Amino acid sequence: MLSESPTPPRLSAGVVTGLWVLALLDLTFGTWLLAVAHDAARCTGLPCTLGDHPSWALVLSQVSAVLLVALLPANQAAVGGGRLAGIAVAGIGGVVALAGVALLVAVVALVLVAAAAILVHVIDNL
């Protein structure tokens, strides 16, 4: 009796698209960090992730981006266990590298929402 081997999982189109966007964001972030490494730009505060060490953030973002580009399927191809684990590790690394930028964007958005709420409140009370 022949047993059928389980079919490898397939990543949905939305997940693959999101991971491609993450790879593009990591490459863009890496370009900015290269400018920081060569003193063409400054890196202080929230965007400098990993304890104010832009070189570590640069390495993490670029390794993650390269792994994602190398491992992601271009279509709905099945993804084996090792490849899926590599994609997961690269995705987590890319998110960690971008965490400082994401936090900065979230804080700015929160401040803008608060300012808009105050403005609406003031206008309503006139």
- Span 58-106, pLDDT tens digits: 888 889 899 888 888 766 677 777 888 888 888 888 888 777 677 767 7
Angstrom distance (rounded) from CA 61 to CA 70:
14
**Per the domain annotation, does 8 fall within a domain?**
no
**Per the domain annotation, does 118 fall within a domain?**
no
Q: What is the pLDDT of residues 17-47, one digit of tens each?
A: 888 888 998 888 888 888 877 878 776 665 5
Give the structural domain span for 52. 13-99
What's the burial of 102, exposed, middle or buried (CB within 10 Å: 0-12/13-18/19+)? middle
Residue labelled with tokens 């690269």: 90
* Domain count across the chain: 1
* Short-list 55, 40, 50, 62, CA closest to 99: 50
DSSP 47: T
**Per the domain annotation, does 115 fall within a domain?**
no
pTM: 0.67
